[in-house]
């Protein structure tokens, strides 16, 4: 059965740019994404936030420093920086960054309700950089009804 919506459908896109000081960083981007959702004018829909590089991630988690340290330790145990990754035979040195991306995912989709991100009480959106110190982008695409 088809669902009807009042209002017109719209898509809105912006990009966040990063060039981190460190090779590995965790950056809270919730407020920037909320600003983009507000600028979109979309009242009800979905917001896709996606890293456009395979050595970075976007994920939702609690903004608590101890947890951040636990995440970094966990990632380093599962995908440690090593010199002997087969990927390094291509001249790269970021094999671990690709593996960390697989563990933490490339993107998130967040509901938009009443013109704002519909996040849980402790949920924040983070950009995780695993091979920084160079220009990178994150796409924020908001789809929905205005």
Task: Give the phi and the psi of residue 79 in degrees, each rounded to 5.
Answer: -140, 70
Q: Which token pair is 145?
A: 């009804």
Total count of residues recorded for the chain:
146
Q: Check residue 7 and give its pLDDT.
A: 75
Q: Which residues have C-beta within 8 Å of that of residue 83, sequence separation ≥ 6?
A: 93
Sole residue written with tokens 């991100």? 117
pLDDT tens per residue, the chain (146 residues)? 555 667 799 999 999 999 999 999 999 999 999 999 999 999 999 999 999 999 999 999 999 999 999 999 999 999 999 999 999 999 999 999 999 999 999 999 999 999 999 999 999 999 999 999 999 999 999 999 99
What is the set of domains in the chain, with CATH numbers?
A: 9-82+93-145 (2.60.120.460)
Helices (H) and strands (E) in the chain, counts: 3, 8
């Amino acid at each position: 059965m088809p669902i009807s919506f009042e209002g017109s459908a719209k898509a809105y896109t912006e990009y966040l740019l990063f060039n981190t000081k460190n090779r590995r960083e965790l950056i809270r981007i919730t407020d920037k994404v909320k600003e983009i959702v507000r600028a979109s004018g979309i009242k009800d829909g979905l917001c896709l936030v996606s890293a456009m590089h395979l050595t970075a991630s976007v994920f939702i988690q609690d903004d608590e420093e101890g947890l951040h340290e636990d995440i970094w330790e966990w990632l380093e145990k599962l995908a440690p920086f090593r010199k002997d990754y087969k990927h390094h035979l291509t001249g790269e040195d970021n094999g671990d960054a690709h593996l960390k991306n697989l563990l933490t995912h490339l993107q998130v989709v967040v509901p938009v309700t009443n013109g704002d991100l519909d996040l849980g009480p402790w949920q924040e959106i983070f950009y995780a950089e695993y091979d920084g110190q160079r220009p990178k982008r994150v796409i924020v695409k908001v789809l929905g009804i205005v």
